[in-house]
Amino acid sequence: MIEIPTKETPAGVHDAEVDHIFGLSGPLSATIAGYRPRNSQTEMAKAIASAIAGQSTLLAEAGTGTGKTYAYLAPALLWGGKVIVSTGTKNLQDQLFLRDIPTIKKVLKAPVSVALLKGRSNYLCHYHLERTLQNGRLSSREDVGYLRDISRFIKTTNSGDKAELSRVPENASVWNLVTSTKDTCMGSECQYYQDCFVMKARKEAQQADVVVVNHHLFFADVALKDTGIAELLPSANTVIFDEAHQLPETATLFFGDTISTSQVLELCRDTLAEGLSHARDGAEWAKLVAPVERAARDLRLAFPQDIVRLSIDQIAPSSPFFEALEALKSSMSDLIGVLEKQAERAETIEQCRARAIMLSDQIDAWNAEPSGKEKQGDYVLWVEAFSVSLQLHRTPLSIAPIFNKQREGVPRAWIFTSATMAVKNDFAHFVSQMGLWNEPAHTWPSPFDYQNQGFLYVPNGMPDPNSRDYTEAVVDAALPVIAAAGGRTFLLCTTLKAVKFCAEKLKDEFEKRGLAFPLFVQGDAGRTELLDRFRASGNGVLIGSQSFWEGVDVRGDALSLVIIDKLPFSPPDDPVLAARIAAMEKKGLNGFVHHQLPEAIINLKQGAGRLIRDETDRGVLMICDPRLISKPYGKRIWQSLPGFARTRIEADVVSFFERIRNETINEER
């Protein structure tokens, strides 16, 4: 049996056991190849064990290389009772479930059961797969092949998790046809309910001691009650958020409301199909859905630009947007009227009716006057247009009160951990975003010797980052350093436009200069495939934007240079950011100092963290942005980064790489 700590358990009661577990003669040293005791890891594990024992909250920042995963897993598996571990991404979720937890469980001989729980769109749906096989609505020959793979896979899989079927890309459109959403799930009425993979995963999670989820799933549940965590949370003794720096953004996404014209068009498609199948004589179905489809498309066409992000106050009152919104509300009402009359003729028509009502209510509520305790200033209304769809967003300005409400009730331990939550050991920004005031927070430094393992290089003579020729200057400054490093480079950009420009210019320059460095560009393949190819090449140059700034681990010689084009400040015209800054300035705070700057520093720390991944890694972090030196806030930024030796001289960097190359040659002799 696992000992479940109570309020009466004295803090520090497990310190001696933690010292033993992580010590030189402990089980980790004895069984894990290459394991070395680290003081920061041991101290972090003690703090987490103490928080678990006292059912209290802890903010734990651990520098790269501390070994934070083992530092929280060991106490959680031994003394955490029922534990929920939430990670930043599904990739990290799989890594924890398939590798890290089994390792610690085996080493510590911990008698715990473990379950993996993902959102329903990750699990195959028997009902939707059968429906797709029958009606064959597939847009490409490729999808036909994928569907064949999926129909074979469902006969052999125990979990139904699409991550197990790597032959079918995660973003293949066929997955939308063979998985369910909250709107399209038949629930207990489904003929396959007993075999349902989603229900099976939730049942296993109910019974497990440790459940691995991700932040999207956790907050989707808090907001939508549609993930199975609602039943898990009341019985949990310990909740651990890894990659906790991502929480404010993820929680904001789910504590707000988003309605998309794609949802409306999907409803129209399904209504037409189900109406013709089960109630052909009940209505002129094509004529019924046509005005709804037209209004949804007109809503998107109200903005001629390709990509738009505007707050409702920035949309001109004369814009066709408002007329299209009213037309959509009116046509949805007509659609619901017919579905009400025909719903009893088939369960699937009843389902369309329920979806139509829910969507209509969301559209009505989007720009309705606030009711009850809610005030107009508590949220921002904005629209986001993509190439073929438009989203209506209603986003809270602060998630702190909503999140704190979720933490009330049953006492339990809440652990928030990341390599990047603080700005120069100051947690104020993260604390104010999450509402974790007066909770203990601690930083454990990285064990790496950054001073000797790398350089921070800020090139001289760079133009203003807003100038037209800035990205060209970045490539010009980067080329000699990439050549000196022998490729082995990440070029991290703050925009996709910069990624495209850098890729084209580097390709030309490599050809001109006879540099045989393979180029890997975000968008050419999936992230995992690009990284695998980059590692295998040994001298590649990878160009990416935000998705490569964090959660990427390339150890050893394959990565020796990380170039960052600009300080990652959020665009000031972002409607949510603009509204937050306005709200802060009403309270007498400075939006740049108290929000934009700490956000940029935390983001930059993530990008910088790609370079040195273990004690033997060496390399250069090149930040091209001259504001790091020229602006008063620049010092605050570089003081928050790892303690690299610093230089502005290109020759220092070139000789550093020459020294590494010579040492490597000597070692090989």
Q: What confidence tens digit (pLDDT) does each residue in 264-275 have?
A: 999 999 999 999
Domain with CATH 3.40.50.300 in the chain: 15-118+199-250+399-444, 450-668
Side chain identity at 69, as an amino acid letter? Answer: T
Each residue of 125-164: pLDDT tens digit? 999 999 899 876 777 888 889 999 999 999 999 999 998 9
* Average pLDDT for 203-218: 92
Please tell me the least confidently modeled range out of 53-62, 182-191, 273-282: 182-191
Q: What pLDDT does residue 665 have?
A: 75
Dihedral, CA atoms, 188, 193, 194, 195, nearest 10 degrees? -160
Q: What pLDDT does residue 224 have?
A: 62
User: Candidates 1.10.132, 3.30.200, 1.10.275, 2.40.160; correct CATH number of 255-396?
Assistant: 1.10.275
Which residues neighbour 111 within 8 Å (Cβ) at sequence distance 6 or greater?
1, 2
Q: What pLDDT does residue 528 have?
A: 82
Cα 446 to Cα 22, 61, 65, 243, 453: the distances in Å are 16, 10, 6, 16, 13
Q: What pLDDT does residue 279 have?
A: 92
pTM to 2 decimals?
A: 0.89
φ/ψ of 214, rounded to 5, equals: -125, 165
What percent of the chain clears pLDDT 90, i.e. is strictly above it? Answer: 74
Indicate the pLDDT class of residue 6, thresholds 50, 70 and 90: very low
Tell me the C-alpha distance between 554 and 321, whole Å.
47
Residue 495 carries which DSSP code? S
How confident is the prediction for the chain on average, in pLDDT?
91
**Homologous superfamily assigned to 15-118+199-250+399-444:** P-loop containing nucleotide triphosphate hydrolases (3.40.50.300)
Alpha helices in 548-594 (DSSP H): 575-586, 591
Indicate the pLDDT class of residue 663, thresholds 50, 70 and 90: confident
Alpha helices in 414-492 (DSSP H): 428-434, 450-453, 470-485
* Average pLDDT for 21-27: 95
Q: Are 187 and 202 in contact (CB under 8 A)?
A: no
* Average pLDDT for 360-365: 94
* Average pLDDT for 537-541: 95
Q: Is the pLDDT of residue 5 over 60?
A: no
* Average pLDDT for 161-171: 87
Q: Is the dihedral of CA 659, 661, 664, 668 positive or negative?
A: negative
Q: What pLDDT does residue 402 have?
A: 85
Each residue of 459-508: pLDDT tens digit? 999 999 999 999 999 999 999 999 999 999 999 999 999 999 999 999 99
Q: Is the pLDDT of residue 108 over 50?
A: yes
Indicate the pLDDT class of residue 4, thresholds 50, 70 and 90: very low
Domain with CATH 1.10.275 in the chain: 255-396
Q: Is the pLDDT of residue 7 over 50?
A: no
Q: Is the pLDDT of residue 1 over 90?
A: no
* Average pLDDT for 273-286: 92
Q: What pLDDT does residue 185 have?
A: 86
What's the fold here for domain 450-668? Rossmann fold (3.40.50)
Tokens read off for 296:
């949804």
Indicate the pLDDT class of residue 186, thresholds 50, 70 and 90: confident
Please tell me the least confidently modeled range out of 24-28, 50-54, 178-182, 561-565: 178-182
* Average pLDDT for 72-101: 94
Q: What pLDDT does residue 417 have?
A: 98
